[in-house]
Structure 1
């Protein structure tokens, strides 16, 4: 089921077990430890004292608006940038300066996929495999794993956005890394392609591979991640399991019915005094902290047409911490 988090056992995932290796054990061993991380570009503090840890086998998300510092943080963890100050440990080693031994244990899928021109999907992944001294058979297995076998002979510039992202992830996994970094892997994809990619990411993590994800999609993080760090202006504002962060918000329940079912005056009488009632001409929405009482009152009035009930989500937590203003 799409909304169910899976930590798949070998017998549940079948051939996938053979393709991406035996499960790593999830325990207290840290895959990543970051303390007091700083990175500035002139007057801009891209990362400003970030501190967090990622356990081995965890699916960890870093969330934040544009310019929050997510990509810079990932690039430091990947050994692509040097931090100004702070402590960073990735799989027990400092990522800077880059170490070949560490690079063999991590896989990186960048925000923008860049492939060699005029190569087919199969040629592309075989080339990546050869950089790690891995034979073409493994490359073909990964092509099958990400559902790209039928596109094996298609040149990369002819792939759709979702296909290109799947190929990019296959390239990041071809050497069977312990730790995988994914920077906005579903950016620009249509809803069907996003959800298909979610299944792949769950399967990868289900075998115990540690996954670190940055995303703008809050529903994606809520479904996939064991824990998330919400980041803004280079700082970690909140950290924990999505459900825990949502419960801590204590946000009201929003009950929506068809406009005209009850008057706004009657609806306001049902709502909590300090909460709002809104009517956009299609739906009337009552915010309340006593949803059972409001639902019972609406049922007595036979005013249940178009009923929907929504509790707080990770998006509500995100907006409460980072604000609602639009950012370029």
Structure 2
């Protein structure tokens, strides 16, 4: 419960009653290469929510469920209430009575990087040899949600009218505004990549199995009390943070906040006046003698040799980094630059140059990747492609630091963020921690809330404008009260996003900064116009 950074792998759960694995209010967890089978409640009349679940994810966020198998359970995977940012892909859902149960107000995409999940109940194959289906797959739709919310209607589940509705949804591609969607369902079960070996797995025969508190990863970048000056200007003031292997941190702040100086210090281009920097557990001052850290860097403005071709540029950097030409050829194809590899760089568009720069940054499969405004000027598809590549690097342990102003775009791709202003750290943590630090409230709305508040005095102080507003740490308590005591399951949760949090910490500072700049630009122009007008009037009246 309320655990963070769990790494759960190589486990098998069989013949449990309620659930195989429970993730309750967890975040930043990796659930990989596990099997849950025959999790089933044998009671003739199973109480709502007591069905056997392979994995039960409750109020969890930013977890990765990858390369698992869920078979012959009442429900393969059950996700309920308040979850966000979870990624579920390359899993195998085989012969579960219900493949997925999801209750929420959002449409969740369960594929990633063009790879979805294998569903034994999916039949729409392309027939052209591709590994993905020609149609999207919706294992959980509004009809499922309806039966979940109104269990008294369960007797209609197999009726002709419901079968007709499901057929109509499938045949006429009726778009659902809630539920699960898999845009790239797999035609064959994804390979286990050698992770699952029966001799290495733990066989568990129990009523339930839960895991928590396992620490994942080691420190890749550690900055401790770093300060630096340029003459009388203080660029950094005792800045500290740590990024673990496999984590992505957003480095946020207005121009002049100290981000570029910090990046140069981590890259070893500047030696800080005070403080310590460690990379992969080794002090920066010892790296040249005792250790070698593979680092990648993509600056905001990519600058290569205009008269070289794309392939020549990557080959040049590959030679510097000791990377083979075969790796260069693979990256060129992966980044969709094969058609332009023999063209000079001066003919490349902004997006093409950015992709080439990103390929250069990851040539050596870096331990640490530094990105400065990687998606500026890119279209949404190109931006998602870059973040897909970042996710692949994270899976093999790469630590990523991204400096960006595109907060809404990066929010779903980060594990933590650090907000800076005037060389100081203002806030640091994952989204939930930043919400707590900011004091911004979660908003919950549902039908009949006013009547509930009249009966439940503990909610009265949280009630305002037909909604409940509370700190994120109270979410579990409030949700449990509404669901268990008043049967309220159909509600919406609105949490402060990264943009709101950012504005809370430095918005006023930015406004005043921009305002002063505008004043210095506009005031002289206005005074000149005033003087010219005055001279013109004098000349006309003369």
TM-score range, shorter chain: 0.7 to 0.9
Corresponding position: 1:240 with 2:429: yes
Q: Superposed, which structure 2 residues align to 1:37-76 within 5 Å?
A: 37-76=226-265
CA shift, 1:189, in A, is: 2.6
Query: For the residues of structure 2 that align with 1:151 and 1:76, how far apart are their CA atoms?
Result: 35
140-149 or 121-130: bigger deviation: 140-149
Q: What's the counterpart of residue 320 of structure 1?
A: 504
Distance 1:174 1:314, change over 3 A: same
Given that residues 337 and 352 in structure 2 are in contact (C-alpha distance below 8 angstroms), is that contact kept between their aligned partners in structure 1? Answer: yes
Residue 308 of structure 2, aligned match among 101, 108, 119: 119
Partner-residue secondary structure (3-state), 1:32? strand
- Tell me the residue number matched to 2:266: 77
**C-alpha distance 9-175 of structure 1, shift in aligned 2 (>3 A):** farther
Equivalents in 1 of 2:309, 2:373: separation in Å?
Answer: 24
Q: CA deviation at 1:98?
A: 7.0
Matched, 1:290 2:464: yes
Q: Who is 1:251 aligned against?
A: 440
Larger gyration radius, structure 1 or structure 2: 2
- TM-score between the two structures when normalised by the length of structure 2: 0.46
**Distance change >3 Å, CA 101–CA 146, structure 1 → 2:** farther
Which consecutive residues of structure 2, in runs of 5 or more, have no partner in the other structure?
A: 1-60, 69-88, 91-111, 116-193, 196-214, 445-461, 469-491, 518-542
Greater relative CO (CA pairs within 8 A, separation 6+)? 1
DSSP-derived class of the 2:278 partner: strand
Relative to structure 1, the CA distance from residue 9 to residue 190 in structure 2 (aligned partners, 3 Å threshold; closer, same or farther) is same
The C-alpha deviation readout for 1:122-141, integer Å capped at 9, x for no partner, is 11111110112222111111
Residue 194 in 1 paired to residue 390 in 2? no
Match of 2:405 among 216, 225, 228: 216
After superposition, the C-alpha distances for 1:187-239 in whole angstroms (9 at most, x for unaligned) are 23333432332222222223321111111111233111101111111111111
Question: Paired residue for 2:166?
Answer: none
Distance 1:103 1:164, change over 3 A: farther
Superposed displacement of residue 253, structure 1: 7.1
| CA distance in structure 1 between the aligned counterparts of 2:305 and 2:65, rounded to whole angstroms | 34
Contact 2:435 2:441 (8 Å CA) reproduced: no
2:336 corresponds, among 128, 147, 168, to 147
RMSD: 3.5
Structure 1 gap segments, 5+ residues each = 17-21, 256-287, 295-307
Q: Does the aligned pair in 2 maintain the 1:63–1:70 contact within 8 Å?
A: yes
Query: Residues of 1 paired with 2:288 and 2:67: CA distance?
Result: 32
